[in-house]
Structure 1
């Protein structure tokens, strides 16, 4: 059994559970100050006066949470070469301090190429503890096929 997940083992419709991550107020403030210094993400008083009624995570922070969950549970054992495209990013609901976000990754399409690679189209989703979708993302990645004579793990 191979520990590596290759492109041909992926099937459209397969859904990977990516696990969960809790987002703290400190993380929201730190990320906001460093990468997205809008008052909604960095200033508790200003954020309290906003339509959200308090600090919320930057959409980029939320994307980073999805990426971390994807790497920890899927990409770290995948024969992935590189990301190719992110598109259709939809931020559906605010992420608030202490939210626990749960991720899934669905395989939409696997398109083999002549060079021993495949383009994989997937859809990532994050939901909060109430089950509300906070983020949806579609993207493509480039994956390796199993080398000749190699065996896969049949995980998907």
Structure 2
């Protein structure tokens, strides 16, 4: 377990992070899909050729899983994060194909102290997954809960 480096106070609006890339292979795509999303354009290179995508593509859920891993490796495991109530928006904008190098771009949109617990706050993020051409392939907005470095007092 990594020590906590970032608390709620550190995630002010405009805070940004961009990960290094992670390249997906055809095997990465089919292995994930055989377990979690068995549609043929994710699992079978030959069948995928006759799909509307014209070839093998990653499941959108795999793209989200890669984004989560990039987030964890980049900063989340060093935070005081105590969970998330979920996503507000999720869009898959372009197919992800074998050989695509995905990177995560995170930006803080809003920060709010908890109304119920002075020891924590909520941060709203926008997370974009970009391919090697700089095209956004997946976009999400959501919130995460963080412990505060110092609990709020009555006058803060």
Q: TM-score, normalised by structure 2?
A: 0.90
CA RMSD of aligned residues (A): 1.3
* Structure 2 partner of 1:22: 23
Alpha-carbon contact 1:101-1:127 (below 8 Å) kept: yes
* Structure 2 partner of 1:85: 86
Question: Structure 1 regions of 5+ residues with no counterpart?
Answer: 149-156
**SS of structure 1 residue aligned to 2:57:** coil
Alpha-carbon contact 2:13-2:109 (below 8 Å) kept: yes
* Structure 1 partner of 2:125: 122
Alpha-carbon contact 2:30-2:43 (below 8 Å) kept: yes
* Structure 2 partner of 1:67: 68
Higher relative contact order (CA 8 A, sep 6+): 1
Q: CA deviation at 1:46?
A: 1.1
Q: How far apart, CA to CA, are the structure 2 residues paired with 1:133 and 1:13?
A: 19
Q: How far apart, CA to CA, are the structure 1 residues paired with 2:97 and 2:88?
A: 24
**SS of structure 1 residue aligned to 2:127:** strand
Q: CA deviation at 1:108?
A: 0.6
Question: Structure 2 regions of 5+ residues with no counterpart?
Answer: 152-156
* Structure 2 partner of 1:153: none
Q: CA deviation at 1:3?
A: 5.1
Q: How far apart, CA to CA, are the structure 2 residues paired with 1:19 and 1:79?
A: 22
Q: CA deviation at 1:50?
A: 1.0
Q: How far apart, CA to CA, are the structure 1 residues paired with 2:19 and 2:4?
A: 17
Q: C-alpha deviations, 1:47-104, integer Å up to 9, x for none?
A: 0011211100000000000000000011011110112111310101000001001111
How many residues align? The count is 147
* Structure 2 partner of 1:138: 141
Q: CA deviation at 1:135?
A: 0.5
Q: How far apart, CA to CA, are the structure 2 residues paired with 1:109 and 1:25?
A: 37
